[in-house]
A and B are shown apart, each in its own frame.
Chain A
Amino acid sequence: MATIDKTSKGARLGQFTQKLGALLGLIILIIVVTALNPSFIEPLNILNLLRQVAINALISFGMTFVILTGGIDLSVGSILALSSAVTANLLLSGINPIIAIVLGCLLGGVLGSINGLLITKGRMAPFIATLATMTIFRGLTLVYTKGNPITGLGNQASFQFLGRGYLLGIPVPAVTMVIVFVILWIVLHKTPFGRKTYAIGGNEKASIISGIKVDRVKIMIYSLIGMLSALAGAILTSRLNSAQPTAGQSYELDAIAAVVLGGTSLTGGRGRIVGTLIGALIIGILNNGLNLLGVSSFYQMVVKGIVIAIAVLLDRKKT
């Protein structure tokens, strides 16, 4: 039929910009920042940048799954803080650092699954459910730490390695980010689970009728982002050698921004995790580059906000 050609051409163009629009933005940003301050492109700064990006990227990967189903998770920063505090205390009690990290991640998973249960079984809107748990988890962190940072984590090499170490000259957080990215890319694009994630965001009713256990998939996804937030928290704790009760505040906004910059639709069903990686890099470069250029942190916020608005405006235009 004649009309098919036209729309599929439009769809192809859409897919093209969805794939490459963010990448193009990233390249332009790198060129601009380098032109303004050539020291940006030096290996040392790039490695530093990757380490900075890792924490936001890990959370953003999880956020991609959440947003693909049409949901949102505002509680990531609070999960990060609570699991970090617990991990730090476990370390203080002399437990093996690896076990402490794993337990911290599991706690993150449990906290995430609470979100999932509220949203599926409790039929709450994701925004409201995670707004509530954001407050609850932050409050619990403050109660648990009595509002004080947990410091003096000692000199356990295996724990310090997570946030401060290098593997073949590359910062360990960056390596972790890449490994997690590859795994999640495979999950999203090559497994039934990934296909279901897209299907739920595309049409939840049709997914239920196609026999997809929508509730279960959603709970698993909120659990996943919880674990990733906890992992990011462990990296942060290792880097700072302390767990702060106020850690991770407004991290949810950076994560959502990275996902949106990467071209994932907030209504669900459409988007790519590669885009999120690029989106996280863009935000990281903005932070890093603007620092290098000596822009005050107040103006940095203005610039970041403008970039996000422009990216979404361009995204609107194409559809």
Chain B
Amino acid sequence: MHIKMNDIYKSFGANRVLTGVDFELLDGEVHALMGENGAGKSTLMNILIGLHKKDQGTIVIDGKETYFNNPREAENFGIAFIHQELNIWGDMTVIENLFIGKELSTSFGLLNTKEMRRLATEQFERLALSIPLNQEAGLCSVGEKQMIEIAKALMTSAKVIVMDEPTAALTEREIQKLFEVINKLRKEGVSIVYISHRMEEIFAICDRITVMRDGKTVDTQPISETNFDDVVRKMVGRELTDRFPTSNAKTSDIVLEVKQASKRGQFKNVNFFVRSGEIVGFSGLMGSGRTEIMRTLFGIDSLDEGDILVKGKKVVIRNPNDAMKAGIGFVTEDRKDEGLVLDFSVRDNMVLTNLYSFAPKGIINNKKEQQFVDVLIQRLHIKTQSSSTIVRNLSGGNQQKVVIAKWIAIGLSVLILDEPTRGVDVGAKREIYQLMNELAERGVAIIMVSSELPEVLGMSDRIYVVHEGKISGELTKAEATQEHIMRLATGGQ
């Protein structure tokens, strides 16, 4: 299918979101759509599938002007959209999910399970998937759920698939699997629009790239004619000198030490330490136990065995409150689910960890609170209209900064960040890195769990690799390479 969107305009109220966008998708190509959050990528795709109405412009599909009134029409026409938030019904089986809303029935009006099973099996074979069809979908890993969504899209014989951040929650292995599937689809003539913030992937899988900025198309070109720095420059409209800013932090004494920590079924005999001013990276595949170690360290789950020492003193951490008293802060991997109260203002979120310091006599001193929050907003360069803006309305990067601000508020000595830049655009990523460096310079010990290898390599002073609940290796910045980490993460030596 050949799609040409010409000179598309779209405003929401007084906000001009798209101001003359051109976008062309060729038959059987994988086309990267890049741009910072708010550049208009999602709006453009939503106009294509009929979720939003364009104000101006034309959409030509295979030589004919074509417009859809709703996503259902687009789907019937062969255009499927796989959203970042997966539409999976966890309590239903995989096969029920595949046919949801499009169930086949027999001439008696009963479900035609035989035919559905046949089609599903056929589709899974095509994608080389081995997920049991009768398994509850909720038991599938995020990667498997992603594959179910893709299979669902292909079930409708899609000729065009739009994928919004498909790898945001996938492990390296699952990403490779996804790429295999994409390559297969490309050979069959399916076109794919690939929206992602991860540069490495774009260069690994895409044929052409369109960069958008502030509601306009900046450029469309073959991927082979551009490079990393060029794309970033086009996205942010300025030169981004270094992707990972350098730190001047000096490491000194050990602040946190974990000895022989075990939790049944999750991790065993884990030993590690962090020094003041040090950024320590935790790498490993998803499900390796990285996140579980951190959650236990912060008291969300409890430790079966082992000791935690803060500044040389043994501490008992039974709940997050104990961890906070020990000076530990935790930026969880899912900021919407665990990091923020989305309906709270920026201010109310920031002070949540530290309410009593603003209420010496029991009543919250709004002035004191406001001053404190204003200082943090400035220091962290949080882009918000005001401190009373509802946090839901901020971009991902700024939301993440609000979560970090929450922990700065407690005067912390150890900050754990789990996937600190997930779903955050390039410009804001760098600001978060800078913030980490700044905290390290102030003597905070930083633990960063990340699935993005370039990030781990670029930011960490030292790296622990976790494999199946054990620390399989410790690397200094000098020794660490992508290959080395991957080897340790997959059980090699």
Contact = CB atoms under 8 A, between A and B. Distances in A.
B300 A209 contact: yes
B325 to A, nearest CB: 8
Interface stretch (B90-98, B203-211, B244-252, B338-346): B338-346
A209 B15 contact: no
Contacts, number: 106
Contacts of A270: 343
B155 interface: no
Given A191-B359, A191-B363, A2 B38 contact: yes
A217 to B, nearest CB: 11
Contact of B342 (A5, A202, A207, A208): A202
Interface in B1-60: 12-17, 38
B357 to A, nearest CB: 10
Interface string B205-224: 00000000000000000000
Contact of B300 (A2, A191, A208): A208
A202 B390 CA distance: 12
A198 B356 contact: no
B254 interface: no
Interface string B277-305: 00000000000000000000010100000
Interface stretch (B64-72, B166-174, B347-355, B480-488): B347-355
A202 B343 contact: yes
A188 to B, nearest CB: 11
A11 B393 contact: yes
B362 interface: yes
Given A202-B344, A209-B320, A191 B17 contact: no
B353 A205 contact: no
A206 B393 contact: no
Interface in A200-221: 202-203, 205-213
A210 B15 contact: no
Interface in B308-333: 319-321, 323-324, 330, 332
Contacts of B383: 1
Nearest to A213: B321
A205 B339 CA distance: 8
Contacts of B13: 5-6, 9
B340 A203 contact: yes
Nearest to A190: B363
Contact of B389 (A3, A4, A209): A4
B344, B351, B355, B392 — most chain A CB neighbours (10 Å): B355
B343 A1 contact: no
Interface in A267-294: 269-270
Given A210-B320, A211-B353, A4 B393 contact: yes
A296 interface: no
Contact of A1 (B38, B298, B319, B348): B38
Contact of A205 (B323, B324, B338, B348): B338
Given A206-B341, A209-B332, 16 more contacts: A2-B16, A5-B15, A6-B14, A191-B359, A191-B363, A195-B352, A195-B355, A198-B344, A199-B344, A202-B342, A203-B341, A208-B320, A209-B339, A210-B320, A211-B321, A213-B319
14 contacts: A3-B12, A5-B13, A8-B393, A11-B393, A191-B362, A192-B364, A195-B351, A198-B348, A203-B338, A211-B410, A212-B352, A213-B321, A269-B341, A269-B343
Interface of B: 12-17, 38, 298, 300, 319-321, 323-324, 330, 332, 337-344, 348, 351-353, 355-356, 358-359, 362-364, 383-385, 389-390, 392-395, 406, 410
Interface of A: 1-9, 11, 186, 190-192, 195-196, 198-199, 202-203, 205-213, 269-270
